[in-house]
Amino acid sequence: MIPAEFRYERVSTVDEALARLAEHGDDAKVLAGGHSLLPLMKLRLAAPEYLVDIGPVDELRYVRLDGDEVVIGALTRYSDLEQDPVLREHAPLLAHASGEVGDRQVRHRGTLGGSLVHADAAADLPAAILASDAVLVARGPSGERRIPASEFFLGPFTTPLEPDELLTEIRLPGQAGLGWGFEKFTRRALDWAMVGVAVVGGKVGLVNMAGVPLRASATEEALASGASIADAAALAAEGTNPPDEPHATAEYRRHLARVLTRRALTQAAGS
Ligand SMILES: Cc1cc2nc3c(=O)[nH]c(=O)nc-3n(C[C@H](O)[C@H](O)[C@H](O)COP(=O)(O)OP(=O)(O)OC[C@H]3O[C@@H](n4cnc5c(N)ncnc54)[C@H](O)[C@@H]3O)c2cc1C
């Protein structure tokens, strides 16, 4: 439970972070809230030679409107997202889902960017980001690039970010007035989701139903062609490949996906 030796470097601007990442390449890891990276290091599943702590980079901590879009700095913490008045009005699904992550301690440290780059299919916010049709902004030595959320989760814990790139911003189309719902089924209070469902404006993101967060495309298509909530939700497990574990078999997770999707869609219809 003790990490391998590493060098710790604290930076206070994006430019400084990029310079350190360019210098260290594959040997460095960015440290944001540390709530996924540090456990991995303690288990020695990650052993970076350098940790570049971006905690003090305040320029990456914000929520604001930019025309019709809501833009969020990658270092914004769950607890700030949960309470932010702009987010609550213009992207209420994301504000609500942020309040469902772990416990208060986790939410005071964990960041939206950290959750997305960690790319765990069992995490809550990647599914909400997918359902929101968000675009992720990355900055590296050759400038900025924009990656649609649908192209960001390549595999378990795998994204298209290069070791010298920083995720800087998340951009969502404004969702004021769109129906939304979020359901998360846990074994014990504060656990990770056994299965979760994030719905906004007829788009449906699934938590823990494959090696990556994914959209319930068959459900979305059925809704778009006028199917009832019950009929559309019955298709929620199509195209999924959920983990099969003693405490939750794949078949049980498929059942949960159908039930939770029906509940989340019903919630969305009433919101
Ligand atoms: C007890 C506990 C319970 C939890 N429960 C839940 C839960 O119910 N639901 C849930 O979704 N999550 C849960 N989590 C995980 C939590 O959400 C983490 O905070 C999140 O997964 C990672 O965010 P972080 O800011 O802590 O990132 P870190 O751990 O600092 O980093 C994670 C990864 O992202 C990279 N990274 C971070 N920021 C950037 C950036 N801006 N640019 C490039 N790379 C970056 C790091 O190098 C690292 O590889 C839990 C964690 C704990 C410890």
Is pLDDT at 101 greater than 90 in this prediction? yes
Ligand 1 center from residue 69 Cα (angstroms):
24
- The residue contributing the CA closest to ligand 1 atom 41 is 167
CB of 258 closer than 6 angstroms to any ligand 1 atom: no
- Amino acid identity of residue 197, one-letter, is V
How much is the average pLDDT of 2-28? 96
pLDDT digits (tens, 9 = 90+) for 142-178: 999 999 999 999 999 999 999 999 999 999 999 988 9
Contact 198, 115 (CB under 8 A): no
Assigned token pair, 156: 């378990």
Please list the residues that pair with 197 across neighbouring strands. 183, 206
Cβ atoms of 211 and 241 within 8 Å: the answer is yes
Return the CATH architecture of domain 62-173.
2-Layer Sandwich (3.30)
State percent of the chain over pLDDT 90: 96
What pLDDT, on the 0 to 100 scale, is given for residue 49?
97
- 180-270: in CATH 3.30.390.50: yes
Tens-digit pLDDT profile for residues 38-86: 999 999 999 999 999 999 999 999 999 999 999 999 999 999 999 999 9
For residue 189, what pLDDT is reported? Answer: 84
For CATH 3.30.43.10, list the domain ranges present in the chain: 7-53
The pLDDT of residue 271 is 76
In this predicted structure, the answer to whether residue 1 has a pLDDT above a threshold of 80 is no
At 98, the amino acid letter reads: S
User: Residue 176: its pLDDT value, please?
Assistant: 87
Q: Are 197 and 267 in contact (CB under 8 A)?
A: no
Q: Does domain 7-53 have CATH number 3.30.43.10?
A: yes
Is ligand 1 within 6 A of the CB of residue 208? no
Q: Show the beta-strand stretches assigned E in 130-239.
A: 135-140, 143-148, 166-173, 180-185, 195-200, 203-207, 214-215
Cβ–ligand 1 distance for 115 under 6 Å, the answer: yes
| CB 235 within 8 Å of CB 265 | no
Portions of the chain given CATH number 3.30.390.50: 180-270
- HSE at residue 200, side-chain half, CA atoms within 13 A, is 24
Average pLDDT of the chain? 97
Q: What is the pLDDT of residue 254?
A: 98
Ligand 1 pocket member 213 (CB < 6 A): no
State the distance from the centre of ligand 1 to the C-alpha of 83, rounded, in angstroms. 19
- Which of 97, 125, 134 shows the shortest CA–CA distance to 32? 125
Q: What's the confidence (pLDDT) of residue 37?
A: 97
3-class secondary structure, 52: strand
Nearest to 260 by CA among 216, 221, 212, 201: 216
pLDDT digits 0-9 by tens, 116-150: 999 999 999 999 999 999 999 999 999 999 999 99
CB of 20 within 8 A of CB of 12? no
Q: Which of 94, 95, 101 is nearest to 33 (CA)?
A: 101
Ligand 1 and 119: CB distance under 6 A: no
Task: State how far the Cα of 5 lies from the Cα of 249, in Å rounded to an integer.
Answer: 38
Residue of 36, 49, 125, 190 to test ligand 1 pocket, by largest number of atoms within 8 Å of CB: 36
What confidence tens digit (pLDDT) does each residue in 227-261 have? 999 999 999 999 999 999 998 999 999 999 999 99
